[in-house]
Structure formats: C-alpha cells, structure tokens
Amino acid sequence: MNFLQVVFILTSAVTLGAAVMVVTSHRMIRAALWLVLALFGVAILFALLQAGFFAVVQVVVYIGAIAILVIFAVMLTRHAMQDEGAQVNRGWWAAVLVALGTFAGLAFLLLNWAGIGSSLGELSADEARKLIPQMGQALVSADAYVLPFEVASVLLLAALIGAIYIAREKNPQV
C-alpha cells in the first residue's frame, strides 16, 4: 500500500461521498456546492494519473464555469433556497435497478481488462513534456482528430445560439 494508493483511496472516498450528498441533499444550493467538491476530487484523480493538463482543465471548465452555471441555474428557479420537496419519485426502484446494472456491467468490463493488475509507471520528464504538444498536434492533424475538433466548434456555436435563443426575454428587439 504505497502513498499513491492511499491518496487515491482518500480522494475516491471524498468524491463518492460528495456525489452521494449531491443526490440526497435537501437544499439545491447545498447540492450544487457538494458538486463542486466532487468535481475537485475528479481533478485530483486526473493529477494522480499524471494527466496534468486534464486536471487543470477540469478545474477551469468544470469548477470555474459549469459549477457556477449550475449555481446560477439553481438560483433562477424560485424558492430554490427552501426546496423541501420529496427526494424520490415513484419510479425510484427502476432507477436503483438501472444504476446497479450499470455498475455491474462497468465492473465486469474493468475486471476483464488486461491491465487491471499492473501499476501505473511514472513518466520521465521528457515524455511528460511532450504530452501536450502531441495532443495539440493530434487535434489538428488531418489523419487524427481535426474533424472532431472542428465539429466541436460547431457544436459550441450551436449550444451558444440555442441557449441565447431560449434564455433571452421575449421583447420586440433585434
């Protein structure tokens, strides 16, 4: 049980605990704040996997933008601060079944993966330095991911236009 494993177990426990609190919290604002903790835990997991870029991007995009967006969305609904409604609806048993089935499927797939028993080796400094340029090159090279890259920008554009169209008020302006 080396240090890396201890950190991993602690981080996973915190992330899972925060995720459970997100789902079971009575007040939506509390749930949004627990979500921030869960997202931060995921960022720490990325850092443990030596994917430093993704750890930082997780904090920048998820915590810095999406979590704030979620908090704003919670604020938009009236009386969000005093949300005392029922925590489950009538179909809760179906949800539990689907969740358990998904978990069993994922666990089965992971346990049958060849690399499950191997430990994560540490990248050398040279290899680590080349990771991000390799990814950047892959994003725009014609035989790698340039098409998803450009489609992602179109997707972002569609999201922007759609959200502005829905969210703006119905006033006779432009």
Partner 1 sequence: MLNEWLYIGLFILVAAALPGVAIFLAGILAPKKPNLLKDETYECGIETVGESWIQFRAQYYIYALVFLIFDVEAVFLYPWAVAFNALTLYAVLEGVLFILILVGGLIYAWRKGALEWI
Partner 2 sequence: MTVEWFRDPVNFITNWLNQFLLGWGLPAGVVAFLMNLIGAGLVATGAMLFCILLIWYERKLYGRIQDRLGPNRVGPWGIFQPFADMLKIFAKEYITPRGADVIPYNLAPILAVAAVLLIWAVIPFYNGAAGANLNTGALYIIAVGGLGELAIILAGIASNNKYALLGGFRAIALLLSYEVPMVLALLVPVLLARSMGMNDIVQAQGDVWYIVMAPIAAFIFFLTSVAEVGRAPFDIIEAESEIVAGFNIEYSGLKFGMFYVGEFLHAFTVSVLFAILFLGGWRGPFVDQVPVLGAVWLLVKTGVTYFLIILLRGSMPRYRTDQTMSLAWKILTPLALAVLVLTAILDKALVGSSDLVRGLALVGMNLVVWFIASRLSQASYRRSHPVEPPIGHAPVINPLVDEIGGVLE
Give contact residues for partner 1 (rule: CB under 8 A).
4, 7, 44, 47-48, 50, 52-53, 55, 57, 60-61, 64-66, 68-69, 72-73, 75-76, 79, 81, 122-123, 125, 128, 132-137, 139-141, 146, 149-150, 152-154, 156-157, 159-161, 163-165, 167-169, 173-174
- Residue pair 13/32 in contact (Cβ under 8 Å)? The answer is no
Question: In this complex, which beta carbon is closest to partner 2, that of residue 95 or of residue 146?
Answer: 146
Question: In this complex, which beta carbon is closest to partner 1, that of residue 17 or of residue 145?
Answer: 145
Question: In this complex, which beta carbon is closest to partner 2, that of residue 75 or of residue 100?
Answer: 75
CB of 134 to partner 2, least distance (A): 12
CB of 12 to partner 1, least distance (A): 15
- The vertex-135 CA angle with 131 and 141, nearest 5°, equals 140
Residue 138 CB partners (closer than 8 Å, separation 6+):
144, 145
Beta carbons within 10 angstroms of residue 15's beta carbon: 19
DSSP state of 82: G
CA gap 138, 109 in Å, rounded: 28
Nearest of 85, 87, 84, 106 to residue 95 by alpha carbon: 87
Q: Which residue has the tokens 């346990």?
A: 111
Which option in partner 2, partner 1, none does residue 96 bind, with CB closer than 5 to 8 A by kind? none
Q: Binding residues for partner 2, per CB under 8 A?
A: 2-3, 29-30, 33, 36, 52-53, 56-57, 59-60, 63-65, 67-68, 71-72, 75, 128-129, 132-133
